[in-house]
């Protein structure tokens, strides 16, 4: 099933470049002549990407409307801008990626490869498979148990049938087994919506990479619309701490993207999940790890030790997007963190140049004090 993009752009040269690049990436183009026609389409059709030239009349309204349109609020938004336009203003109106004018085929292809990977992951995460599975729910706070049955299952959550007169809220631990496998999963979840009749939706919360892998494999095998994911993107690890890392890459993922990282140094390999907290177009992104288990911390400590003991070792790193963080997962700085890299992510607003200068100064602090390694020293 082809990905679809809505394009609002009156510049014929840019449109030609977009058609060629998007066609090569198997992304269909629905070109709109004006903002009014684009707004009408947003309410009637589903798109995986919304691409607008900010200089066109009403382009900002199209981006804002996409964020609230029920069928397109998860679409990846790409803004085409003049180099003098401030990035903060563009991101505030809902853009995820920025494409600078003049738009070249090479630069557009690099940006849309990253955008396509995010578009596929977002569509995959929301794809649902109808299945009835018994689920045991336990409230960590009240200690109460409840048994329900799924209506459908996705990578991000499930719809369940609720007993009459039961309308629980909040966070729960849910346990179930995937049909046809020996995989038994116990996941944290929260109630996300209440449907008509006796139905409700549960959203999974910060599940482990292994549980994500098991769910994804089962869904691929049981979904009629399963598609091949794009391969992970290779990037350069420049800074690493127990709480996060900074990655250099030509087309970084937007802030609020959930990502999975595969890091290897010698014989040591770490697989971690995180959320992009800082993004600098054309330069890189800062990722905060979302796992807080002792096993994850031990693995990262071992990886840090290898880097600090082998200053000439070049770490290998692959990153793949897992979708955009939900609005309910607001960006909250960790309480009283002593992690210098996370402090930089959550600190005062800096330009890309100022941020990299501050990160460079942090590298001068001995690793024994910071619990951190600079992979830039290994390049």
What's the pLDDT tens digit per position in 17-68? 999 999 999 999 999 989 999 999 998 899 999 999 999 999 999 998 888 8
Domain end position, chosen among 189, 222, 255: 222
Tell me which of 114-118, 157-161, 223-227, 298-302 is least confident: 223-227
Report the C-alpha gap between 161 and 152 in whole angstroms: 10
Q: Is residue 228 part of a domain?
A: no
- Round to whole Å and give the CA distance between 244 and 240: 6
Position 16 pLDDT exceeds 90: yes
HEC per residue, the chain: CCEEEEEECCCHHHHHHHHHHHHHCCEEEEEECCHHHHHHHHHHCCCCEEEEECCCCCHHHHHHHHHHCCCCCCCEEEEEECCCCCHHHHHHCCCCEEEECCCCHHHHHHHHHHHHHHHHHHHHHHCCEECCCEEEEECCCCCCEEEEEEEEECCCEEEEECCCCCCCCCEEEEEEECCCCCCEEEEEEEEEEECCCCEEEEEECCCCHHHHHHHHHHHHHHCCCCCCCCCCEEEEEEEEECCEEEEECCCCCCCCEEEEEEEEECCEEEEEEEEEEEEECCCEEEEEECCCCHHHHHHHHHHHHHHHHCCCCCCEEEEEEEEECCCCCCCCCCCCCCCHHHHHHHCCCCCHHHHHHHHHHHCCCCHHHHCEEEHHHHC
Please tell me whether residues 156 and 216 are part of one structural domain: yes
> In this predicted structure, what is the pLDDT of residue 184?
85
Confidence bin at 227 (pLDDT 50/70/90): low
Residue range 107-128: average pLDDT?
Answer: 87
What CATH number should be reported for the domain holding residue 119? 3.40.50.2300
Tell me if 342 sits within 8 A of 240, measured CB to CB: no
147 and 91 in a single domain? The answer is: no
More confident residue, 369 or 173: 173
- Owning domain of residue 97: 3-126
242 lies in the same domain as 359: yes
- Say yes or no: 321 and 360 in one domain: yes
**Domain shared by 240 and 353, yes or no:** yes
Q: Is 234 exposed, middle or buried (0-12, 13-18, 19+ CB in 10 A)?
A: exposed
Predicted confidence at residue 360, as pLDDT, reads 86
What percentage of the chain exceeds 70 in pLDDT?
Answer: 89
pLDDT at 116: 92
Mean pLDDT of the chain: 85
**Residue-wise pLDDT tens digits, 343-365:** 999 988 888 899 999 988 887 66
What pLDDT does 245 receive?
Answer: 94
What is residue 367's predicted lDDT score, i.e. its pLDDT?
47
In a domain, 101, yes or no: yes
Looking at the fold, whether 191 and 256 belong to one and the same domain comes out as: no
Instruction: Assess whether pLDDT exceeds 50 at residue 377.
Output: no
Look at residue 158 and tell me if it is in a domain: yes
Q: 259 and 295: one domain?
A: yes
Q: Please state, in angstroms and rounded to a whole number, the distance separating the CA atoms of residues 161 and 238.
A: 47
Confidence grade of residue 13 (pLDDT, cut at 50, 70, 90): very high
Over range 324-332, report the average pLDDT. Answer: 59
Over range 220-229, report the average pLDDT: 74
Give the number of domains in the chain.
3
Percent of the chain with pLDDT over 90: 45
Q: Is the per-residue pLDDT at 168 higher than 80?
A: no
Of 371 and 7, the one with more pLDDT: 7
Which residue shows structure tokens 């330069």? 283
Residue 227 maps to a domain: no
Residues 335, 253 share a domain: yes
Co-location of 24 and 135 in the same domain: no
Do 152 and 244 belong together in one domain? no
197 inside domain? yes
Kindly state whether residues 167 and 238 are assigned to the same domain: no
Domain-ending residue, one of 126, 141, 169: 126
Q: How confident is the model over 234-242, as a mean pLDDT?
A: 92
> How far from 146 is each of 167, 175, 194, CA to CA, in Å?
11, 11, 17
Which residues, other chains included, contact 186 with Cβ-Cβ below 8 Å and sequence gap of 6+? 173, 174, 175
Task: Tell me whether residue 244 is in a domain.
Answer: yes
Does residue 345 sit in the same domain as residue 360?
yes
Mark which of 97, 126, 155 sits at the end of a domain: 126
CATH number at residue 329: 2.40.10.220
């Amino acid at each position: 099933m082809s990905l679809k993009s809505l394009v609002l752009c009156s510049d014929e040269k840019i449109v030609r470049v977009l058609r060629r690049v998007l066609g090569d990436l198997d992304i269909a183009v629905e070109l709109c002549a004006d903002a009014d026609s684009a707004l009408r389409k947003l309410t009637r059709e589903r798109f995986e990407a919304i691409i607008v030239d900010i200089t066109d009349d009403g382009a900002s309204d199209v981006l804002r409307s996409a964020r609230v349109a029920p069928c397109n609020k998860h679409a990846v938004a790409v803004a085409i801008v003049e180099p003098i336009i401030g990035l903060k203003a563009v991101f505030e109106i809902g853009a995820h990626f920025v494409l600078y004018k003049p738009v070249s085929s090479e630069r557009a292809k690099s940006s849309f490869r990253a955008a396509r990977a995010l578009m596929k992951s977002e569509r995959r995460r929301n794809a649902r498979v109808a299945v009835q599975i018994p689920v045991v729910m336990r409230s960590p706070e009240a200690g109460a148990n409840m048994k329900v049955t799924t209506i459908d299952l996705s990578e991000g959550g499930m719809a369940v049938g609720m007993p009459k007169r039961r309308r629980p809220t909040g966070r729960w631990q849910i346990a179930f087994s995937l049909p046809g496998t020996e995989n038994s999963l116990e996941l944290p979840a929260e109630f996300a919506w209440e449907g008509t009749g006796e139905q409700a939706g549960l959203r999974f919360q910060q599940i482990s990479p292994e549980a994500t892998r098991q769910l994804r494999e089962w869904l691929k095998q049981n979904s009629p619309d399963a598609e091949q994911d794009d391969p992970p993107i290779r990037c350069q690890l420049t800074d690493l701490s127990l709480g996060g890392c900074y990655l250099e890459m030509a087309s970084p993922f937007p802030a609020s993207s959930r990502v999975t990282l595969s890091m290897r140094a010698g014989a040591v390999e770490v697989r971690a999940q995180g959320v992009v907290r800082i993004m600098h177009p054309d330069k890189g992104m800062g990722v905060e790890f979302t796992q807080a288990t002792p096993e994850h911390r031990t693995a990262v400590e071992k990886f840090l030790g290898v880097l600090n003991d082998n200053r000439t070792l070049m770490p290998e790193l692959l990153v793949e997007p897992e979708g955009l963080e939900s609005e309910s997962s607001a960006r909250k700085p960790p309480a009283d963190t002593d992690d210098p890299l996370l402090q930089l992510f959550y600190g005062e607003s800096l330009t890309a140049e100022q941020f990299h200068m501050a990160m460079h100064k942090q590298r001068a602090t001995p690793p024994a004090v910071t619990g951190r390694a600079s992979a830039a020293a290994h390049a």
